[in-house]
Amino acid sequence: MPRLRRRKGKGRNMEEQLASYADYLFEAPDFKVSIAAIVLLSVIVGATAFTNGLKEDIIAGMILLGVPAMLAALLTSPLSNIFGNNVTFNRSALMALFSLVIISLVSEIAGIISYFTNTHYLFTGFILALSLVFALRMMILLGISVNSLPKVIIPASLQTLFGGLCLFYYIKTPEIYLDLIVSSIIFVTAAFVFVRYVDYPMVKSFGVSSFDFIQDFIAHLTDGSPDMEEFFEKIGESIDAPVSVVSFKKPDGSIKALIVTPYVHPGPMGEIGGGNLPAIVSRVLSSCQEGLVFVPHGTAYHDFNLVTAEESEKIISAAKIALQRMEYSDSATKSLRVECGNTKILGQRLNDSVFLVSTQAPTSTEDIEFSVGFTAMAESRVAGAKYATIIDAHNCTEPFATAIEPGTRDSYNIIRATANASKQLLSMESGPIKLGVASSPPICTRLEGMGDLGIRVAIIEVLGQRTAYIVIDGNNMITGLRERIIEKLPVDDAEVMTTDTHVVNTLSGANYVGQKLDCDHLISTIENLVDKAINDLEPVSVGMDIEIAEDVRVFGSHKIAKLASTANAMVAMSGAFAAAVIIAALSLTLLVFILF
């Protein structure tokens, strides 16, 4: 069967482009490394740019270049963090080093001109470099610290201010310092206009600043801050989301296992929003009863990301309501598998409802849109099922595969397969049901692709047939791993699912089960769990119910695409406008120097 390929060039999807911007994020080096680089660079530039003798030039380099940079490195962090955050000493020192590189380049050019023209070193370029550094530091601090010009102006000015004070040791001509003040005003004004121009599309589209988002994103990566949720809450909208609950009860009345399927998306990343929704739902419901809780992936795309972690409480409340009114029976049918195009559905009738798991494997896909799953559920109800749970197995992908959207061939295949499976299941013979469960904690870290719930296995036995349902707390699986797992299991049929947890994702969505962990170890772990679950088989009664979680705040329809397109537009227009702003500011500054 054909596999979806990663789009390239103009065909790259917007989410791929948006994720690619995370490549520009990096960890600042240690403070001492940056300071050592500042000292070394100051000595080298002083010795090669100035023309007063080696000893004097090295001293001049340290005074004019090194001292201002080191003072700025030491003071930027505490001054910035009075009003903002995110400016660590490591970042402060790196910013000072970056600024020093710019000043050094200008100083070297001025030194070369002075050498070949046999003239005294001119400090006009040095003045312009100090002004440019002021503007650049201001833009950096607006982006990573606090989005307010009055609050960043002082820490942004430190390297320029100290550079001017150190220059006074060599030159006491007032005109030089007047030029520094004028050029700084021009460059800072130009930079501020640039920042507001680039930020305008985000403010216009969402009513919030992209700089606030960047600051919250950095804070989340470094400190685990949940402040990004405020941004998402501002752009979000409310929906009503179904929550399906399948409950298995022991003969003594206690609950043996729950399968809770929320029809929202567990994103966007880390602990933000619904990123760790499966673990949150499992943890709360497990505290209410002793049974093992499974939280597979419902049919929902990124537009249904919860805006805050608190929204998960509405999902849990709906699950509790469904559980309270649950009606149980000890009958079920054997499982069957129905195929339609790329779609494969493994289903069973549980009591008077149907339980269906959909996969496109080995075709690589992303999520199933909510409307596709909701339509399929309606088809199952039309066929005669009281309730229908449809799970997106989410078990075969490659980076940036496409979602299954309404109107596509795969969407119709899912709907047809659901209808066919439901009709067959509702006409099949039923019998007593047995259930066995087993679980394992994570066999690797989040960075290696597995969330807090680890691996959970349920074996359902009806009329001598055993069907295994494996749920891995991860975000999708590499191609072919599902098939390798299933062929090793001593059961009649099986399906492997992932929860689509985004707690394993921070900078990118590409951290799939099997991509970084040891696949052989995963397979052997699942084999052992299936054996334990088989040994745990016992008679149970089963029930299914669905409750609507009302007024759940999610990203909203097409917000991800809109956010991505807005970011892409900002990046696209920033390059040319930045060049125009720099040229205009430089031209205006030189004109002022010449005329006055």
Q: What is the pTM of this model?
A: 0.83
Q: What is the 3-state secondary structure (H, E, C) of 207-270?
A: CCCHHHHHHHHHHHHHHCCCCHHHHHHHHCEEEEEEEEEEEEECCCCCEEEEEEEECCECCEEC
Low-confidence ranges of the chain (pLDDT < 70): 1-26, 114-122, 222-224, 507-509, 593-596
pLDDT of res. 9:
36
Could you tell me the two tokens for 237?
Answer: 């909208």
Strands (E), 331-451: 331-333, 336-340, 343-350, 353-359, 388-392, 430-440
Q: Which residues lie below 8 Å from residue 78, measured CB to CB, with a gap of 6+?
A: none
Amino acid at 498: T
CA–CA distances in Å: residue 158 to residues 37, 91, 436, 505: 19, 15, 67, 37
Q: Which residue has the tokens 């380049």?
A: 105
pLDDT of res. 232:
83
Could you tell me the two tokens for 94?
Answer: 């790196």
Q: Which residues lie below 8 Å from residue 426, measured CB to CB, with a gap of 6+?
A: 349, 354, 383, 384, 385
pLDDT of res. 508:
62
- Report d(CA 58, CA 229) in Å as an integer: 50
Helix (H, G, I), strand (E, B) or coil at 298: strand
pLDDT of res. 122:
66
- Report d(CA 67, CA 73) in Å as an integer: 10
- The CB-based long-range contact list for 345-349 (8 Å cut-off, 24+ gap) reads 345/414, 345/417, 345/418, 345/421, 346/467, 346/493, 346/494, 346/495, 347/421, 347/422, 347/425, 348/425, 348/460, 348/462, 348/467, 349/385, 349/425, 349/426, 349/428, 349/430
Could you tell me the two tokens for 47?
Answer: 């010795």
pLDDT of res. 7:
36
pLDDT of res. 14:
46
Helix (H, G, I), strand (E, B) or coil at 138: helix
pLDDT of res. 317:
97
For residue range 327-352, list pLDDT tens digits in order: 999 999 999 999 999 999 999 999 99
For residue range 100-136, list pLDDT tens digits in order: 999 999 888 877 776 666 666 567 788 889 999 999 9
Question: Left, alpha or beta for 476 (phi > 0: left; psi -120 to 50: alpha)?
Answer: left
Q: Give Cα 153 distance to the centre of its chain.
A: 31
Give the single-character DSSP code of 403: P
- Report d(CA 144, CA 146) in Å as an integer: 7
